[in-house]
Each structure stands twice: as C-alpha cells, then as structure tokens.
Amino acid sequence: MLFNSAVFLGGFLPFVFAGYLLLARYGTRTLTMVWLTLASLIFYGWWNPGYVPLLVGSAVFNFTVGRALVAKPRRVVLWLGIAANVGLLGYFKYTGFAVEAFNHMFGTHSIVPHIALPLAISFFTFQQIAYLIDSHDGAVVSNSLLEYGLFVTFFPSLIAGPITRNREIVKQIKDPDRLKPRWDNTAVGATLFCAGLFKKVIVADRFAEWANPVFGEAAEGAPVHFIHAWGAALSYSMQLYFDFSGYSDMAIGLGLLFGIALPINFNSPYKARDIIDFWGRWHITLTRFLTAYIYNPLGVSIGRFRARRGFPLPRRGRMSAGAFAALIVVPSLFTMFISGLWHGAGWQFIVFGLLHGFYLVVTHAWRQWRAHRGLPPQSESLPGIAASVLLTFLCVLVAEVFFRASDVPAALNILSGMAGLNGVTIPPSLQGTLGFGSMFGWRFDNLEHFDAAQAVWIVGALAAVWSLPNALEWLRRYRTAVNFAPPQNWLQGRVPALVWNPSASAGVVLGMVFFFAVLVAVSAAPAQFIYFRF
C-alpha cells in the first residue's frame, strides 16, 4: 500500500485514525498498541499477504534473541542472531545476483532463481540487527513482545524507514503522554503529510516523466546526447530528492498523527558542502547505522591490530599515509560498499557505493590537509561555500546516474553523453555560434525532443532546494522529528512568512494544496516511492 494511493488516502488512513481516536478515548493503551500493530500488518500485507508471516517470524525471532542477550550478553549468540538476519536478507535479495555473477566469472550456466523480494526487508533487517547489538551492549529499553512488535511494524516507518532504534520508539510507547491524540501533533503531522504528498505527486513524479524515457533509451544502448543526458541526470536528481524528501515528511507526519515522533531522515542534502556533510543529511538513519555498526567498529579493530603490531596511534590533526589508509580508506570503502550493496543487488549499486567511498576518502584527506594548516574543515567565505556546494552536488549527481541506471553500461552511456562524447544536441539557432565543437568530434543535431518546461522546472527546483527552508525548518517552532531542533534557514530571518504558524488562512491554503495533490494522486495509478524497492 502506497501513501499516495487512493486506498490509503481514502480508506486505510481515515479508518485507522478513527479507530485510534476511539480507543484512545474508550479503550486502553494495550488495545491501542494492538490496533496499530494489526493495522501495520494489514498495511504490509496489502502488497503480498504471504510475506506477513516472514515479518512476524523475524520480529519474534529477534525479540527472543534480544531478550537472551539482555539477560546474558554472549557474543556467540549475538553473531548467530546477526547471521540469521543477514542470511535471510541475502537469500531473498542477493541469491539471483550471486548466481549471475558466478556464471559470468566462471562461464557456468546455472539457472538463476527468480525470488520475489519481500517489501521492506532491507529496512526491518537493519533495524533488528541494531536491536540485537544494542541488546548485547545494554542500550535497549526493556519491552514486551507487543511493544517490540509495534516498534518493528509501525507502518509510517515500516517500508522505507527511517531505520529506528529501540530506545527511540519504545520509550515513547511506554510514555503515558504518548499514543493518544494531541491536536498540536495532529496539526503538525497533517501539515507535514500534505507537504510530503505535494512533493511526491506534483514535483517528483513530474521529473520522473522526463528522466525515465532517457534512462530507458540508455538501457537499450541508444547513445544519449549532451542536452538529453544532462536533462535526464538532473531530472532524476530532482525526482530522487523530492521523492525521498516527500516520503520522509509523510512518514514523520503520520507518526505524529499517532503520537510517535520518528527520527529525522532527510535534511536538505543538496545544501551539503562536502560528502561527509551530505551523508549527514541524506538517509540519516542509514548513515547512523553504517557508522555505528560497521565504520566505527571496523576502524577500532584496525586500530587495535596496528597497535599490536607496534604502529603508534595518530596524533590529533596529523596522520601518516599508512594510518590514513588503514583507519580511513579501508573503513570508508568497505562501509560504502555495504551501503551500495544494501541499496540493490547489481553492479551499478556497487559502483554507486564505491564512488561515495572514494568521495569520502578524498573529503577526509582534504579535511586532514586543512587541519594540518590550522584551517577549519570547510571554507567560510560565500564564494567558497557556493563552490563547495556545487562541487558536492556534481559528485553526487554522477553517483546518482549509477543509482538510477539499469546497469553499468547504461550509466556509462548517460555519463558519456554528459561529457559530450555521444554528440552535443543544441538548438539550431545556436549551431552557427558553436562551430568550434567540431574540433572535438561533437555532432550538432536538432533539439527535436527538448522540452523547455523541463529546463524551467530544473532551475526552479534547484533554486528551491538551495535557498528555501525544508519542511522541518518551516515547522521549526513545533516538535517534529525526535531529538532534532531545526536551525533557522537564512531566509526565515528576512521573510517571517517562511515560518509556519497555524491559522485559519493557513488551514485553508493547506486544505487546497491537499485537495489538489489528492486529485492528482488518485487520477492515475500511484507511482511507487523510489526507496520502496529496497
């Protein structure tokens, strides 16, 4: 079931919220938890009821192992629990890819199995691995099976995150002031949900109409020319941004409707000034998981290994080439390799992850160089900020081409077009002024399929993401995401209207926006959120 589908907007959400209101008034907290858990299982099973037992079985298994780890934290039990989760994820998500890779490398012809990927398995697997590790380390809140079940299955975050931690959600479930209606939560949650729905159905899906045909041509091997390649890459970049931003707003908004504050997962990542900053803003809870459970433990293990071999620990602000390679390069590349593979079973996702690993290594080296010279990690001048934001965006854009492409050759086709290697397509009126391009073997063809509206939308979207406050900044006076205080956007001090204040006029405008977005959403088959396929 999709947040932007007619069945969700017109049936599931009103029915579940009405039941929540009735139980909050006439029932008990236990019944409210049962109601939300059952609703979440129905939400999950709408796609394929056959996978509901898989989700329930995974939750019961991990709850049992977690309780055992709380009672007696044994590493062998932890590793067996992690292995079971990774094995389940590996079977469903990577078996076919592994067989294809084996056939390609060794020239065999083993049959590639076609295994349907259960919805959200990547998300609830990582969430429960974090629970097991936190249970072993004594960092979980004691919970019942029902509380744990609601923590795992809570439908606003079940399908595409955020990847929550036990203590973030269970503390709220246990709080007597939560899981009951509060009209400030309802107003803020509904506002966030409407903003996210608008981003998805009006903005993201519009950009998809421009990006999909070109990426489809690239997958078929047709050379993609310069303007079309850049148009498709930028359109997909905007589609991905507003799709994930919209989903994140809708998830947090839905959580607030039912009294649960979810962690922030998206914070204007295209404003990032380097790749470290980018991953602190993009899919924040995934970054948190990878950092806490892969990058940091790997770095600590390598550091201990080096210490046993007599290598000194690096001094603050200074690091030898060997220490940098061991403590930064290896953990960065390995962690982002895991990130790429988590996103999808395909070589293009591995390239996506390794590219970001390379970017992180370069960023760490740059920061080390600046620290060695007594400079701050990033330039504080306006030209320096603008240049760093633009460079970071271009690096991300290249990686996103691999993220979107059907395979590596299709991605290279798009990137070749962006570099002008497949010919440069320009308007006929400009061809006479750019004759120098023939020196590079560029072909100047008619711009028959160029859509001027596409350029306007791209420029407008970039201007919006680089200048306007995001939804949480817009609602900064009210509680939204858990443990997050949105900073003031630079424009909000100059334009007070960019800070949300509840009023009758604001409600009318929001209602009109919601009505228009719903009309668009139900007028055609709903487009799936990009992260739903992971």
Higher per-residue pLDDT: 326 or 294 = 294
Here the tokens at position 251 are: 């998830």
In the predicted model, is pLDDT for residue 237 greater than 60? Answer: yes
Tens digit of each residue's pLDDT (9 = 90 or more) over 308-324:
888 877 766 567 888 88
Tens digit of each residue's pLDDT (9 = 90 or more) over 107-117:
888 888 888 88
Q: What is the mean pLDDT of the chain?
A: 90
Average pLDDT over residues 222-231: 93
Q: Residue 450's pLDDT is what?
A: 52
Residues 238 and 208: their CA atoms lie apart, in Å, by 9
Higher per-residue pLDDT: 138 or 510 = 138
Least confident of 125-134, 290-299, 331-340, 440-449: 440-449
In the predicted model, is pLDDT for residue 72 greater than 70? Answer: yes
In the numeric block, the tokens 């998206």 are attached to: 266
In the predicted model, is pLDDT for residue 167 greater than 70? Answer: yes
Contact partners, residue 422, CB within 8 Å, separation at least 6: 223, 224, 225, 226, 229, 413, 416
Residues 245 and 283: their CA atoms lie apart, in Å, by 10
Q: Band the pLDDT of 248: cuts 50, 70, 90.
A: very high
In the predicted model, is pLDDT for residue 458 greater than 70? Answer: yes
Higher per-residue pLDDT: 175 or 426 = 175
Dihedral of alpha carbons 271, 272, 278, 284, sign? negative
Q: Band the pLDDT of 426: cuts 50, 70, 90.
A: low
In the predicted model, is pLDDT for residue 428 greater than 60? Answer: no
Higher per-residue pLDDT: 531 or 447 = 531
Neighbours of 111 (CB within 10 A): 7
Tens digit of each residue's pLDDT (9 = 90 or more) over 468-527:
999 999 999 998 999 888 888 888 888 888 888 888 888 888 889 889 998 888 887 888
Residues 40 and 149: their CA atoms lie apart, in Å, by 10
Q: Band the pLDDT of 351: cuts 50, 70, 90.
A: very high
In the predicted model, is pLDDT for residue 434 greater than 50? Answer: no
Helix ranges (DSSP H) in 220-295? 226-257, 275-279, 284-290
Q: Which of 486, 502, 12, 431 is nearest to 252 (CA)?
A: 486
Here the tokens at position 533 are: 């396929």
Question: Is residue 158 within 8 Å of residue 44, measured between CB atoms?
Answer: yes
Residues 276 and 289: their CA atoms lie apart, in Å, by 15
Residues in the chain: 534
pTM: 0.93
Helix (H) / strand (E) containing 383 = helix 382-404
Q: Residue 14's pLDDT is what?
A: 96
Q: Band the pLDDT of 448: cuts 50, 70, 90.
A: very low
> Is position 343 annotated as part of the catalytic site?
yes
Average pLDDT over residues 37-55: 94
Q: What percent of the chain has pLDDT over 90?
A: 68
Could you state, in order of their start, the residue ranges of all structural domains in the chain? Answer: 1-181, 269-457
In the predicted model, is pLDDT for residue 441 greater than 60? Answer: no
Average pLDDT over residues 387-413: 97
Average pLDDT over residues 79-96: 95
Distances (CA, A) of 154 to 1, 44, 111, 139, 146: 14, 10, 38, 21, 11
Q: Residue 497's pLDDT is what?
A: 82
Active-site position among 225, 283, 343, 356: 343
Q: Residue 317's pLDDT is what?
A: 57
- The amino acid sitting at 199 is K
Residues 385 and 255: their CA atoms lie apart, in Å, by 35
